[in-house]
Structure 1
Amino acid sequence: MKVLGTVLVAVSLLLLLPSAWGSEASHTCVFQTLSEPDHKFCRGELEVIYPEVGDVSCSYIPKCQGYRQKLSQEWGKPRVRFPWAKKNKKYVLVMVDPDSPNRANPKHRFWRHWLVSDILGSDLRVGKIKGKVLTDYSPPKPPRYSGYHRYQFRLYRQPAQKTIALSPEDKESLGAWDLKDFVEDFGLGHPVASTQFLTKNHMD
């Protein structure tokens, strides 16, 4: 009887272990770093900071803890910080989705999610995006079954005495935005820093 009792206790403990492991695992959320070539886009130490998770630059947004759903439905605009910004210079911040409606057929590529000009470098150093809002922030909302989307942040130095504006046509539509023309029209040149994160629909 004593042996049988010992066996029963051992079996009970073994049955409890998986649930304990599962419970511990459910509290662990790993933000996986982007693989090549997506990782190459990240340069200049640009930080994109959301509540609860911190800097999501150059990473996948995991599904655990409801992070993808919160990103799409609850969280507002992130803090964007560039520690190397020149205090007295102005910058232009662009946030776009180059994978709209999906990465295989991005016919609406460079869907504009956020566009702000006249950002002072002193504000940018501490993550305050204050300036002229040309496109209000729109959270990432990838369609179901469209796979991962890249959400890219591009930071440009704004030429002195240059007023940045959208054309009437661009104001009417967020999708299929000609980012290249916009950059060339205002002489923005190459981004001084850029980063991105990848996420998909929270139901997928």
Structure 2
Amino acid sequence: ENLSEDDLTDAENIPNILVSISSEKDSFITELSKNFHSNIVRMNQKIEFLQEESNILWWLVGEYSNLMNEHYSSVEKPIAAITTALELSELTISSLGPASSSQLLYKVLNVSKKSRKAKFKFNEYIENIPTLLFERFAIDPVIEQYNFMFPVYTALKKYYEIGNELAWCKAFRTATGLSDDIELSPIDLSTQLYRESLLLKCFK
């Protein structure tokens, strides 16, 4: 049986049709893959946030300082201002941290030993830190390049390296241009160190 011109035309178009079908299939698979990947990323983010919330909740309920190895009711207020910030930042997964971070820090600080003083000098916070605490957390060397962005970390580093009160305070003032005897409440110091800790994570 002889083929008509339409049949011949259709036959000639078969390769083009197959190419078109293949292209559409590839586009569909690519789009499906993108959507799948996007959904996986969102699921992982939700899991991370849930993990963050769970870890922070247990920290709040336990009222226990892992850095000091004791209940916060036994931790002096100036030391607690440092440890609460370090511990909460360790539990924080999101780059900005929970919106209620200051309230979380305040709640744990409120458990620490009572003090007649509402504020302490900045150098008091630093010099109250026991040596063993420095052995339990690392001070990233990147702060040396950005001292003005990490004043509390810079003070901790100078105190750990130099030790002598007059010497470390002078080195701190030189590095940051800030005063070492400014008075701060524990929550202000803790919030500042917490923010520095989150910022430090961005450099890693």
TM-score > 0.5, shorter chain as reference: no
TM-score scaled to structure 1, two decimals? 0.29
| Pair member with larger Rg | 2
TM-score scaled to structure 2, two decimals? 0.29
User: Is the helix fraction higher in 1 or 2?
Assistant: 2
